[in-house]
Amino acid sequence: MPSTPDGVIAAHWVARAKKGKEAELRDHIARVVTPSRNDPGNIDYEVHEDEARPGTFLVYERWTSREALQAHTESSWIPKLIPPLQALIEGDIEDELRILRPIRPAQ
């Protein structure tokens, strides 16, 4: 996973609700925000719904290190959320998860 020189790492994820599951997915994702923000090493954890595509959610998160992101994904509460989440979205979680490589101007 690429990170900045100071170790910060970012991830982006898109979740598309199955037809008729938009509100349920919105509620499910909203419940993840606060505990994710409280996980050690979290800098940002933001969720947005695409205005042009209701039921499409974008998650952007930044962590102090790769290890902090890994620890988040291995948190005891995360595995409990995956099966219900997977049942609400089109495709697979991993298909839409991206680790972002920072682009920095030359110094």
The 8-class DSSP code of residue 47 comes to E
Domain encompassing residue 75? 9-100
SS3 category, 20: coil
Does a structural domain hold residue 24? yes
pTM of the shown model: 0.83
CATH code for the domain of 59: 3.30.70.100
pLDDT along the chain (107 residues), means of 10: 68 96 95 94 96 96 94 88 92 86 74
Please state, in angstroms and rounded to a whole number, the distance separating the CA atoms of residues 93 and 82: 9
- pLDDT score at 17: 97
- Tell me, what amino acid is at 32? V
| CA distance readout (Å), 36 to 27, 69, 103, 104, 107 | 15, 10, 25, 27, 33
Output the pLDDT for position 19: 96
Residue 38 inside a domain? The answer is yes
Can you tell me the distance from the alpha carbon of 27 to that of 25, in angstroms, rounded to the nearest whole number? Answer: 5
